Amino acid sequence: MNYSNIRSFIHKEGYIFVGCSLGIALICLLFSVALFWIFFIISLCFFFFFRNPSRVVPSDTNLIVSPVCGTVCAITSDVPPEELGLGNKKRYKVSVFLSIVDVHVNRSPVAGKIKKILYSPGKFIDAGIEKSSLFNERNTIIIEVNGDENNLMSFSQIAGTLARRIVCDVHEGELLSKGEVYGIIKFGSRSDIWLPVGVTPLVCIGQKTISGETVIGDMSLPEFAIREAVIVP
C-alpha cells in the first residue's frame, strides 16, 4: 500500500525526530527534570513541523489545488525550461514560499499519472527569491493531468536555506489522486507550479495557500491575459 494513502498525524520522516527526542526526554527524567522538559518541548516542535493535518480536497476535476502550504511569492508567464518537456508555449508559473511554521507535507495538485520525475542537485539560496528556482536543489514531478497525456503540468519541491532534504515518496508511472501526499521538504522551502497551457492563476501574490484545499487554477475557465509577470524580489 502506498504510504500517502495512509492517514497519519505526522509524515513518516518525523518518526525518528519525535521518537528520539521523546526517548532522550524520558532518559533525562531519571536525573534532571529541567532537561526532560527541554527535550519534551523539542519533541513537540518536531511533531508540529512534521504534522499532516486532514484536508478537504475539491472533487471537481477541473480545479487545481496548491501542493503546499505557504505564501504566494511570485506569478510569472513564460515558456517552461526545456528539461521539463512541457512544450514551447507560454504558461503561468505560481511560486509558493514555505516558512518554518508552515505545513511541509506536499500534496498532488491534480489527479493523474506521473510521467517523469526530475531531480537536480544545487545550492541552498533563500527560497523566497526568484533565482532559487534555477539554482537550488529541487525535485520536479511532471504529471498527465486527469490521465490526459497531452495535458501536462509540473510541480516542484525546492530546497531553501534551512531545507536540506527533499523527500519524494512516489515514482514515475504511479497514479496520484488530487490532494494525495507525495512527499515533504525539511525545513523551509519553495514550490513552483507550472499550470497547464491556457489556465490562469486564481491566486495573487501575498495570498496564503493550504495544501490540497486552496484552488490555484480552474481548467474550465477561459484564459485571460495579465499585463506583465509579477515577481516579488
What confidence tens digit (pLDDT) does each residue in 214-227 have?
999 999 887 654 44
Q: Where in the chain is the domain with CATH 2.70.70?
A: 63-231
Q: Which of 189, 191, 211, 220 is catalytic?
A: 189
176 band by pLDDT with thresholds 50, 70 and 90: very high
Mean pLDDT, rounded, of the chain: 83
Q: Is 189 part of the annotated catalytic residue set?
A: yes
What confidence tens digit (pLDDT) does each residue in 2-14 have?
444 445 687 777 7
pTM across the whole model: 0.81
In SS3 terms, the chain reads as CCHHHCCCCECHHHHHHHHHHHHHHHHHCCCCHHHHHHHHHHHHHHHHHCECCCCCCCCCCCEEECCCCEEEEEEEEECCCHHHCCCCCCEEEEEEEECCCCCCEEECCCCEEEEEEEEECCECCCCCCCCHHHHECEEEEEEEECCCCCCEEEEEEEECCCCCEEEECCCCCCEECCCCEEEEEECCEEEEEECCCCCCECCCCCCEECCCCCEEEECCCCCCCCCCCEECC
**63-231 has which fold?**
Glucose Permease (Domain IIA) (2.70.70)
